[in-house]
Amino acid sequence: MSTPFNVRQAAVIGAGTMGRGIVISLARAGLPVLWLDNDPSATEAGLAMLAQTWAQQVTKGRIDQAEADACLARVCAAGAYADLADVDLVIEAVYENLALKQDIFRTLDRTLNAQAILASNTSALDIDAIAAVTGRPEQVLGLHFFSPAHVMKLLEVVRGARTSPAVIDAARALGQRIGKEVVVAGNCPGFIGNRMLATYVAEARKLLLEGATPRQVDEALQAFGMAMGPFRMYDVVGIDLEWRARQLAGTGMEAPLVQVDNALCEQGRFGQKSGQGYYRYAPGSREAEHDPEVDALVFKVAQGLGMHRRTIDDEEIRERCLLALVNEGAKILEESVADCSADIDRVYLHGYGFPAALGGPMHWADQQGLSLLLARLERLQGLFGEHWRPAGLLMRLVAEGKQLADVREGRA
Ligand code: NAD
């Protein structure tokens, strides 16, 4: 039976990195997609990339030519918003800037049929602030895909304050239809995954300034089992994304923790895409090679900030990065941004390369023993300050002899 939110025809706005992967995911699952970018050459290049991707799949024997042709035929470039009037769902994937996204949502709200669901692929912006510019906030939500969107399994479905349960159900069904691991998240900066990542990366960046090198931090965390250390990950994602977002927003450029990233971007070292970032890459290779010039740059930036560098061992790197992740995860659980600790674990297993054998950060924390973990956080708080204050939920669980796995919707 057809429900008001049955998605039969989709549209994607933005034909960059994410738009391309999202279009592939939708078309591959049989959905017709209209594709709009304000730069028509971006859609053209996107369509060529899609054709190439599906041709490669045929060569590898994963799909046959008829399937490749059918996938490509499902995707049509749109020339204007009016062409999207009858779609059931639109996913916006333009630059990470609130004012720009709000502009687009105003236009979508004016142009699309009243039943259409409006989704944003924002990585961290406020879904409610986007929904507020429309006359249909109950039909606005986040659909946070991970890069590359046609490969990564995770899809965070972000619930705004006014998103209706039927719209969340439709998003969940769509995610399952396109083969994603769906996790519903509440609306807060960074949602589940990127909010936790921010605390983890902040520790990694502090460790650089205090005395570690990018390679040392990455290797210490890879020895724990992370698929990729944070600086290798930044090279893959593109160091310039956050740098450009800071420039567009006009805030955050001065923060000490981003000075190494700023300096790298000023030298055009954006990561793999430019052949050099935190590491260097031989032409055509994705193999991260140590670059002593980056160590020298880190040293220079730290000196410029007046930091007294010291020897840091791998144990301290793991302790600080992993406990930062877990403590933020506990706050997310406490605030009901995630419904349960298993959802947080799924986000980290399917979107962030947390070692599968350890079951995810929250499961790992339970296995460590929460009272011991609490004592470790209190020690870090004593050494490094208030940002290490343990989540209230952890204190409560320890007092009650419970685990993170016992928490449901903020309560144990
Ligand atoms: P991108 O720079 O690769 O592509 C953005 C596209 O949007 C460009 O093709 C540009 O021409 C188009 N665009 C800009 N303004 C437009 C407008 N007014 N109308 C129509 N099209 C417009 O960016 P991206 O990496 O694909 O990121 C897109 C969104 O996805 C951002 O919100 C980003 O935070 C989010 N995101 C990115 C990643 C990632 O790893 N790249 C991961 C998850 C989410």
Q: Could you report the per-residue pLDDT of 155-176, keeping only the tens digit for each? A: 999 999 999 999 999 999 999 9
Query: How many CB atoms sit inside 10 A of residue 315's CB?
Result: 9
Q: Are residues 159 and 273 in the same domain?
A: no
Task: For the sheet with 140-145, list strands across it.
Answer: 75-77, 33-36, 10-13, 89-92, 117-120, 140-145, 154-159, 181-186
Considering the domain architecture, whether residues 22 and 150 belong to the same structural domain is answered as: yes
Same domain (yes/no): 14, 122 = yes
Q: Let me know whether 56 and 178 are in one domain.
A: yes
Q: Is the CB of 38 under 6 A from ligand 1?
A: yes
Single-letter residue type at 148: P
- Domain end call among 170, 186, 202: 186
Q: Does 206 fall in a domain? A: no
Are residues 177 and 50 both part of a single domain?
yes
Taking Cα atoms as reference points, which of 308, 297, 314 lies closest to residue 259?
297
The rounded Å distance from CA 25 to ligand 1 centre is: 16
Considering 253, 275, 304, which residue would you say is the last residue of a domain?
304
Cβ count within 10 A of residue 247: 14
Mean pLDDT of the chain: 96
Please list the residues that pair with 33 across neighbouring strands.
10, 75
Q: What is the mean pLDDT of residues 33-37?
A: 98
How many folded domains does the chain comprise? 3
Q: Which atom of ligand 1 sits closest to the CA of residue 15? A: 9
What is the extent of the structural domain holding 398? 314-406
Q: Are residues 298 and 332 both part of a single domain?
A: no
Residue among 23, 37, 151, 180 whose CB has most ligand 1 atoms within 8 A, to mutate: 37
**Which protein residue's CA is at the shortest distance from atom 17 of ligand 1?**
38
Residue 94 beta carbon below 6 angstroms from any ligand 1 atom: yes
Q: How far is CA 121 from CA 12, 42, 94, 98, 313, in A?
A: 10, 18, 8, 12, 38
Residue 308 is among the residues annotated as catalytic for this protein = no
Q: Are residues 17 and 152 in the same domain?
A: yes
Looking at the structure, do residues 351 and 402 belong to the same domain, yes or no? Answer: yes
Instruction: Name, in order, each residue with C-beta under 8 angstroms of 60's C-beta and a sequence gap of 6 or more.
Output: none
- Verify that 339 and 391 share a domain, yes or no: yes
| Catalytic residue, candidates 144, 150, 350, 363 | 144
Percent of the chain with pLDDT over 90: 94
Q: Which of 149, 141, 136, 130 is nearest to 185 (CA)?
A: 141
pLDDT at 175: 97
- Give the range among 70-74, 172-176, 246-250, 370-374 with minimum mean pLDDT: 246-250
In 60-164, where does DSSP find H-type helix? 65-73, 98-111, 127-131
Same domain, 74 and 178: yes
At residue 3 the predicted structure's pLDDT band, cuts being 50, 70 and 90, is low
Cα 214 to middle of ligand 1, angstroms: 27
Residue 410 confidence (pLDDT):
74
* CA of 13 relative to ligand 1 center, distance in Å: 9
Task: Work out the angle between the directed axes of helices 370-384 and 361-368 (0-180°, nearest 10).
Answer: 100
130 and 122 Cβ atoms separated by less than 8 Å = yes
The CA 16 to ligand 1 mean position distance, Å, reads 5
Per-residue pLDDT of 177-217, as tens digits, reads: 999 999 999 999 999 999 999 999 999 999 999 999 999 99
Pocket test for ligand 1, best of 12, 13, 18 (most atoms within 8 A of CB): 18
CA atoms within 13 A on the CB side of 313: 1
- φ/ψ region of 251 (left if φ > 0, alpha if ψ in -120 to 50, else beta) reads beta
Is 95 touching ligand 1 by the criterion CB < 6 Å? yes
Whichever domain contains 138, its CATH number is: 3.40.50.720
Tell me, yes or no, whether 412 lies in a domain. no
Q: What is the C-alpha separation between 350 and 219, in angstroms, rounded?
A: 21
- The domain spanning residue 348 has which CATH number? 1.10.1040.50
